[in-house]
Structure 1
């Protein structure tokens, strides 16, 4: 997965939008003003920060060398994933889906229920 395909997948999530609060080099993907991913370059590699369950975050770091504790993020709840080709695309999509789902779960009840009503549980919590 490269920058553009990651960006396209991130923005395909229901009501996801792109923002640049940290400057033009780091895209921040949000749902209802809450960040669920960042996308940018770290050195020569594309990197994506994704929210993660703390236990799963550690397991992913143990399995994939391209997954490290979240760069400039809460390292307990965020991972940085380098898009260097070593993490299979289906696994990257699963991580993105999980990050989005975790943020949606933390939304206000009325916002969460509106999303579920509009898009269905399958679209939100893949």
Structure 2
């Protein structure tokens, strides 16, 4: 998957999540997806390379960085809790969808129960 496909896939997936919305608080070069006012995904270009920045469980983030050369610590974010995804051979639509959903679930899980658009413990999980 190339960088442009990565951005399109991530944006399409994020836009379908309950309560998700797109904003541009940092200008037109940054697409910021939020749920109930909390960021779960950012998209931009880092020196000409399209990237998607997502929240991730610290242990999962470490494992993803070890497994995929196109997944690195979060650009301009807490390196322990965020990852940056670039386009690459091992990055496919399924992986991007899973990472976007997991980022969303982590953020929703931090919201007060009354504000959660879905149950973060069950949403998007395969049975």
If the TM-score is normalised by the length of the shorter chain, which range does it land in?
A: 0.7 to 0.9
Structure 2: which 5+ runs fail to align? Answer: none
Shift of 1:87: 1.3
Determine which of 12, 15, 19 is the counterpart of 1:8: 12
Shift of 1:4: 2.2
Number of residues of Structure 1 aligned to a counterpart in Structure 2? 121
Give the 5 Å matches for 1:1-126. 1=1, 2=5, 3-112=7-116, 115-116=117-118, 122=122, 124-126=123-125
What's the secondary structure of 1:101's corresponding residue? helix
Aligned partners of 1:97 and 1:125 also within 8 Å: yes
| Structure that is richer in helix per residue | 1
TM-score by length of 2: 0.86
Shift of 1:89: 1.8
Cα RMSD (Å): 1.8
TM-score by length of 1: 0.87
Structure 1: which 5+ runs fail to align? Answer: none
Shift of 1:121: 6.7
Bigger relative CO (Cα 8 Å, ≥ 6 apart): 2
Runs of 4+ in 1 over 6 A off after TM superposition: none
Aligned partners of 2:9 and 2:97 also within 8 Å: no
What's the secondary structure of 2:99's corresponding residue? helix
